């Protein structure tokens, strides 16, 4: 989960003949956000449970893992930098 710490800016104003004045602005960190995702794999769900993804040599993943997905959150503006993740779902 992403967490943002507070941001602090010190702004100093200077005018000739007057002592400088410094103002401190503090912005609290953003509260945690939760994204709930429900995913049904149409090709692997058999109506009761999940079939396992397979490749030429058999099951793609060990144990009870049917498939894997990677989720990344990116900025909505160019250059679309990574904002969170990646999170690997199995």
In a domain? residue 45: yes
How far CA 30 is from CA of 3, 5, 14, 65, in Å, comes to: 7, 7, 32, 35
Look at residue 3 and tell me whether its pLDDT is greater than 60.
no
Number of domains in the chain: 1
Give the integer Cα–Cα distance in Å for 16 and 86. 52
pLDDT of 28-37, one tens digit each? 776 666 777 7
Q: Do 24 and 8 touch, CB atoms closer than 8 A?
A: yes
Do the domain assignments include residue 1?
no
Pick the residue with more confidence: 74 or 1?
74
**Residue 75 lies in domain:** 7-89
Q: What is the pLDDT of residues 42-56, one digit of tens each?
A: 677 778 877 888 889
Tell me: pLDDT of 2 over 60. no
Q: What's the pTM value of the predicted model, to 2 decimals?
A: 0.42
Question: Does the residue 64 lie in any domain?
Answer: yes
Residue 55 lies in a domain: yes
């Amino acid at each position: 989960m992403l967490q943002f710490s507070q941001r602090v800016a010190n702004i100093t104003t200077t005018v000739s003949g007057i002592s400088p004045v410094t103002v401190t602005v503090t912005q609290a960190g953003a509260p945690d956000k939760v994204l709930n995702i429900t995913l049904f794999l149409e090709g692997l769900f058999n109506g009761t449970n999940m079939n396992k993804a397979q490749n030429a040599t058999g099951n793609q993943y060990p144990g009870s893992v049917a498939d894997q997905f990677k989720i990344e959150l990116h900025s909505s503006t160019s250059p679309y930098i990574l904002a969170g993740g990646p999170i690997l779902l199995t």
